[in-house]
Amino acid sequence: MKKLVAVLVVLAVVLGAAWAGSSYWFGMKAEEQYRQILAKASSPPMLKFLVENYKRGIFASTAKVAIEFGDMGEQARKDGNGLRFVAIQEICHGPFPMGNIGDFKPVVAVIRTTVQSFPEMNAEIKKFLDEFPELKSSENRTTVFFSGNTESVLTVPAFRRTIQKDKKTDIVWEGLSAHFLFADGLKTTTGSVNAPGLQVTTPDGTFALKAAKWAVNLHRGASSLNLGDVSTEIASIDFKGSGDKAPESFRANGIKLKIDSKESANNCVDATMTMGVEQAKAADKSFDARLSFVFRKLDAESLRKFQDAMDALNMQPPASEEEMQKRMAANYLDLAAGLLKKSPEVELTEVKFTMPEGTFNGKAKVVFTDPKGSIAENPLLLLNAVTAEAECTAQESLVRYIAAQALKNLPGGGETVPGTPGSEIAESDESPAEVPESEEEDSEEAEPGAAVPDKAPSELARPAKPGLPGAPQGKALSVEEQVALTLDQLVKQDLIVKDGANYKASASYRGGKVVLNGRTIPLENLLK
């Protein structure tokens, strides 16, 4: 019995030593990968992770890491200026990290991150965390696998708060969660961020956001650009005014934005961007909209050089704003010159806008060719390097509605006027005001029965503004009649085409010539 006990004790000591030894070895591996992860995650100058302190233990280690956004000098760090905060991280060593209850899969380490306040922290960030102490209990849990892949799960707690400052503000935050997987040495990133809701209520009204989701699936291509798809979805955004702001209201449902990018032939990048709103309502008007773009043959090397140049510019910004603008303009010109060599294309494959009054549809395409010269020295080279075409269709009811609203929003709009929109003298049943004899001759031109505004006699004597071509002289035109007359004139001038219950227009540009609805218009005529 004593021998058995002794064997068990020795076995326990050996196992304990082995466990401690392996855990310490995993601790060294964990620190090595930890520093590699932060180095790869840093994207100077916009985002930097700085390990200020690392204490390695047997079963766990602790680290203090500063997270900086933007380029911060040493003095800014000392003064607590700039966007910078400090996180405390507990690194539990593998192969079976302590506290990793319920998960018996061997891993290198589990890293738990919490945010804390420090004396050197930015004053505004510290004030924000003190205002919303629940945020200090936010936690990010990162698991480091033997393959080198990492998985991160972020949890931000929900809270309610009432702030009494200039105006009472009630805030209801429903929390946030995020889940990301980083693979292939951080060259591949997949994950999502979910925010169930936010509501902010002030005396002016209530703003509410529901079910926001951001998803990403990116990989670093041969060109060192991050390509893939990124999407944003929001179930609804709502604002309801109160008090003096009561008439102001807005609601949008089903907001979506998606961007896809991939490498294509000849070291180029193709991308698509789609955005839309399923239903929106402003005041008493509802609408929905959809917009889709396609970008083809974008030179990957030019995009990468532009990205590097802008990063370098942000890392060491010039002393003056003028020099900054000059260098940025030079970077954009270099980008344009590089892109043009691959004959890029930009296509608006769909634009659709629908209201109760009708629907608008359109599409367009622009193709660039190599200008065979420096556009920086001679920008006019672009005129021969571009071909473009566009077309659109709108229901007549929608066109009339939009035109009427535009007229009503003009100064004096919405009034019934004699002869032409914008006339200074409106029709009325009132008798004309008396005019001094010195102005009698000019005032006789006014139509009998017209109301005379409260103006000086010299102003009343001025003739009305020139009318629309074809407008009946002396006849009062309502807004609807003004719209009809305007549309008729646009049709006669071939600026729009009447097609049944729709209005249509098409245009193209090639070799310095513009073709509008089948009619050629020399470019020089448009530049006069």
Q: Can you give the pLDDT at residue 74?
A: 58
Where is pLDDT greater, at 23 or 27? Answer: 27
pLDDT tens digits, residue range 352-383?
999 999 999 999 999 998 877 776 677 777 77
Q: Can you give the pLDDT at residue 452?
A: 40
- Tell me the average pLDDT across 183-194: 89
Q: Can you give the pLDDT at residue 73?
A: 55
Q: How confident is residue 428, by pLDDT bands cut at 50, 70 and 90?
A: very low
Where is pLDDT greater, at 221 or 172? Answer: 172
> Closest Cα to residue 111, out of 88, 139, 89, 138?
89
pLDDT tens digits, residue range 224-245?
899 999 999 999 999 988 876 6
Mean pLDDT (the chain) is 78
Q: Can you give the pLDDT at residue 38?
A: 77
- Pairing, β 285-299 against β 268-282: antiparallel
Q: How confident is residue 418, by pLDDT bands cut at 50, 70 and 90?
A: low
How far is the first Cα of the chain from the last one, in angstroms, to the nearest whole number? 110
Q: 76-80, 206-210, 273-277, 318-322: lowest mean pLDDT where?
A: 76-80
Neighbours of 89 (CB within 10 A): 19
Q: Can you give the pLDDT at residue 382?
A: 77
Q: Can you give the pLDDT at residue 299?
A: 94
Interatomic CA distance for residues 33 and 150, integer angstroms: 10
Burial class (CB in 10 A: 0-12, 13-18, 19+), 109: buried
Q: How confident is residue 76, by pLDDT bands cut at 50, 70 and 90?
A: low
Question: Does residue 399 surpass a pLDDT of 60?
Answer: yes
What are the φ/ψ torsions at residue 308 (nearest 5 degrees)?
-65, -40
Interatomic CA distance for residues 213 and 191, integer angstroms: 11
Highest mean pLDDT pick, 120-124, 148-152, 428-432: 148-152
- Tell me the average pLDDT across 13-25: 52
Q: Can you give the pLDDT at residue 523?
A: 67
Angle between helices 479-492 and 396-408 (to 10 degrees): 120
Q: Can you give the pLDDT at residue 391?
A: 97
Instruction: Provide the token pair at 182.
Output: 């980083």
- Tell me the average pLDDT across 142-157: 88
* C-alpha pair distances (Å), 23 with each of 61, 91, 113, 428, 466: 11, 11, 20, 95, 90
Question: Does residue 467 surpass a pLDDT of 60?
Answer: no
Highest mean pLDDT pick, 147-151, 348-352, 415-419: 348-352
Q: Model pTM? A: 0.75
Interatomic CA distance for residues 252 and 352, integer angstroms: 16
| 474 neighbors 418 (Cβ within 8 angstroms) | yes
Interatomic CA distance for residues 385 and 25, integer angstroms: 63
Q: Can you give the pLDDT at residue 181?
A: 92
**Omega cis (within 30) before 45:** yes
Q: Show the DSSP H helices in 296-444 as ranges.
A: 300-315, 321-340, 381-384, 396-408, 440-443
Where is pLDDT greater, at 78 or 516? Answer: 516
Reported for 404-407, long-range contacts at CB under 8 A and 24+ positions apart, including other chains, are 404/479, 404/480, 404/483, 407/479, 407/482, 407/483
Q: How confident is residue 447, by pLDDT bands cut at 50, 70 and 90?
A: very low
Q: Where are the domains of the chain?
A: 1-157
- Tell me the average pLDDT across 53-60: 82
